[in-house]
Structure 1
Amino acid sequence: MKTDLLTTTIPESKFSAVKNALKYLFNHNEIEDIQLLTGGLSSALVYRMTVEGKDYLLRIVMHADEMHDPPRQHICMGLAASANIAPHVYYSNDEDALAITDFVQNKSLREGFASGKDLITALGNTIKAMHELPLFPKLVNFLDGVDIFIEQFKALHIFPEHVTAEYFSLYAEIQKAYPRHDTDMVSSHNDLNPNNILFDGKKIWVIDWEAAFQNDRYVDLAIVAKTFVHNQEDEAIFLQTYFGEQLDEYKRARFFLMQQICRMYYAMIMLKLAAAQKPANHVHDTDMVQPGMAEFGAMLMSGKILLDTYEGKLQYGKILLNTMLAAMKTERFKAAIDMMRVF
């Protein structure tokens, strides 16, 4: 009996809850192996756990609050699992703030599809299926939430005000024009970064429902596009897959503006995390001249820079802001803002 694996791996405050879950599922507490998984930015503890020769994923929320809310997460995850979008859920307990699901042995997403077009189409169909689920619980208006993140960033005084003035000045056009109170809500994951999109060799699975709630449909589309949609041809395939015959210029414009909102969203998160991780007596580098997103991605892939470091978060935040700023200086941006004002 390897309960010692649990005692040396699971926090003491959650030990009894994990034992109860194992007892409920397997009628015993014996496990063959348990490994803490790292790599994401979530505050939850995530483990690969082997029981009776099969791997499971154990997820434990350590500090519950409005954002890290086990009941909401478990509802969203359960609805997605019932539609074969999320891995099968074997056990969830709101009070203990833990869940046990199937473990997906992840394979290369890009290598799993014959072409980039096939991958983009598969991702578009996955988002479409998710958005057809029964509505997730409410949490917050997304644009209002981004506005709060902006105010929190400004309060940290990471950069002198003049360094970011142009970014926020142009973003204010979106704040005024985007239909933030549109009642057309869908069940949204809200954090479809590559760490949360797994591929088992046959099918795409979506994990980590921590940020899930009912939201503007363009949020999931924009977040996936940040990583996988690289040009106008990709965008056309992606949006056509999702909207079909209903795709029009208004939807294209709204998607484009949400891309900038999501870049701001992730930039604020990264810079806030960088500020929390800043070494003592260190002065933030205010130079906004940075590599492009493609070059930064290559640096991450090669290990030249790590996203879990202070430097990685600071640089990524700057690059997201620069990518947003470049997009907001285009004619497409002006046209999109004008279209929102008309509608």
Structure 2
Amino acid sequence: MTLEDLLPPDLRGPNTTITPIAAGLSGAGVHRVDAAGQAFVLKVAAESESAEDWRSTLHIQRLAADAGLAPRVIHVDEPRRAVLTEFVADRSFAAFYRDPQTHEAALTLLGRTVRRIHALPIPGVAPMRDPREFLTQLWNQVLSGFPLPGFIARAVERVLAEAPPIREGALVLGHNDLNPSNFVYDGEAILVLDWAAAGPMDAYYDLAVIAVFLRMDGGTCLRLLSAYEGKPIAELPKRFLYMRRLAAALAGAMQLFLACQMNHAGATGAETPESTLSLGEFYQRMMTGALKLGTAEGQWAFGLALLKECLAL
């Protein structure tokens, strides 16, 4: 079987080209397909992903696509767990967000987009997602024994020791990985990729993830939540503030796990919060090519930066 066999018959032929794009954290293979004068994205599930989880993700992805929140699903090969979606040219949400002239419009669009995601119905088969439990598992089992700077333990253990403020609203269908690398901005709307972690979740978690990765200060967070709620928010809720710390700790721990998987040696003993890159400095190094994600050193630096950010929240 070839990758072309996973395409619908009308897209197969001598002029069809299939180019690898990336392999996500799940191990799924992602490819660009050019055929019949059009471009598509083919995602093939990793062997380790269960059929049940794959079907749940596909169901949620279709809900999102039908609502205009994800690229349109073109074809599904269920026996081989492959999904073909339309290719959407990215006009860079990051540039839209960073431009002072369009920053507020980008922030408003972001809040309203998350609100639309949370308005999707929660499928009965969608598994519960608990980021606190996942962080506990990463910290106590996966990262146990991996040499880490002392400030990393302080950041993670502070979050785990903290009693989460009581949740007041109902659970929503959360994407649960709303970092900007999963955004495609087509010039009008934000389409969201990679729904593998989606499931019932506290609404503040998606908003907190966005706030961490986009390095939002308190005022920007208030405007994000105001756009999400459709009304002015005067004070950041305590549960949102907790979720922001939790999101930073979990994201950082996940990056350190990836560095460990890539055989990074771990801490040398010289790492301190003062000597560690801030999240903004890490992004600058990544933009210049001095650090690259997908490498042990890049994942290590990203993890440290996120956990340094966690300590400051």
- TM-score relative to the length of structure 1: 0.80
Matched residue of 2:46: which SS?
coil
Q: How far apart are the structure 2 equivalents of 1:31 and 1:140?
A: 42
Task: Render the CA deviation track for 1:24-74: whole Å, top value 9, x for unaligned.
Answer: xx2755552211113854421111101211111111012233599311110
Alignment correspondent of 1:144 = 133
Give 1:214 deviation, angstroms.
1.6
Matched residue of 1:155: which SS?
coil
Aligned residues of 1:193 and 1:227 also touching (Cα < 8 A): yes
Task: Render the CA deviation track for 1:225-283: whole Å, top value 9, x for unaligned.
Answer: 1233522331121010112348464x62211110110111111111111111125xx45
Q: Going by fraction, where is helix more abundant, 1 or 2? A: 1
Q: Is residue 83 from structure 1 mapped to residue 67 from structure 2 by the alignment?
A: yes
Q: How far apart are the structure 1 equivalents of 2:95 and 2:28?
A: 29
Aligned residues of 1:223 and 1:262 also touching (Cα < 8 A): yes
Q: Is residue 121 from structure 1 mapped to residue 108 from structure 2 by the alignment?
A: yes
Aligned residues of 1:70 and 1:94 also touching (Cα < 8 A): no
Q: Which moved more, 1:148-157 or 1:129-138?
A: 148-157
* Aligned pairs (5 A) from 1:258-337: 258-278=243-263, 282=265, 284-286=267-269, 287-288=271-272, 289-327=275-313
Q: Is residue 206 from structure 1 mapped to residue 189 from structure 2 by the alignment?
A: no
Q: Which moved more, 1:230-239 or 1:305-314?
A: 230-239
Q: Which residue type is aligned with residue 267 of structure 2?
A: H
Matched residue of 1:291: which SS?
coil
Give 1:152 deviation, angstroms.
2.4
Change (3 A) 1:276 1:118: same
Q: Is residue 133 from structure 1 mapped to residue 116 from structure 2 by the alignment?
A: no
Q: Which residue type is aligned with residue 313 of structure 1?
A: Q
Alignment correspondent of 2:76 = 92
Matched residue of 2:42: which SS?
strand
Change (3 A) 1:183 1:84: same
CA-based RMSD of the aligned residues comes to: 2.6
**TM superposition outliers: structure 1 runs of 4+ over 6 Å:** none
Alignment correspondent of 1:167 = 155
Aligned residues of 1:64 and 1:70 also touching (Cα < 8 A): no
Q: Which moved more, 1:66-75 or 1:264-273?
A: 66-75
Change (3 A) 1:147 1:213: same
Matched residue of 1:128: which SS?
helix
Alignment correspondent of 2:40 = 56
Give the paired residue count. 305
Task: Render the CA deviation track for 1:64-106: whole Å, top value 9, x for unaligned.
Answer: 3359931111011000001010111112244311101110111
Q: Is residue 34 from structure 1 mapped to residue 22 from structure 2 by the alignment?
A: no
Give 1:301 deviation, angstroms.
1.0
Q: Which moved more, 1:146-155 or 1:232-241?
A: 146-155
Alignment correspondent of 1:196 = 182
Q: Which residue type is aligned with residue 206 of structure 1?
A: V
Bigger radius of gyration among the two: 1
Aligned residues of 2:23 and 2:30 also touching (Cα < 8 A): no
Aligned residues of 2:148 and 2:266 also touching (Cα < 8 A): no
Q: Is residue 157 from structure 1 mapped to residue 143 from structure 2 by the alignment?
A: no
Where do 5+ consecutive residues of structure 2 fail to align? none
- % identity of equivalent residues: 25
Q: How far apart are the structure 1 equivalents of 2:169 and 2:31?
A: 38
Give 1:298 deviation, angstroms.
0.8
Where do 5+ consecutive residues of structure 1 fail to align? 1-11, 328-343
Q: Which residue type is aligned with residue 140 of structure 1?
A: R
- TM-score relative to the length of structure 2: 0.88
Matched residue of 2:201: which SS?
strand
Q: How far apart are the structure 1 equivalents of 2:154 and 2:181?
A: 32
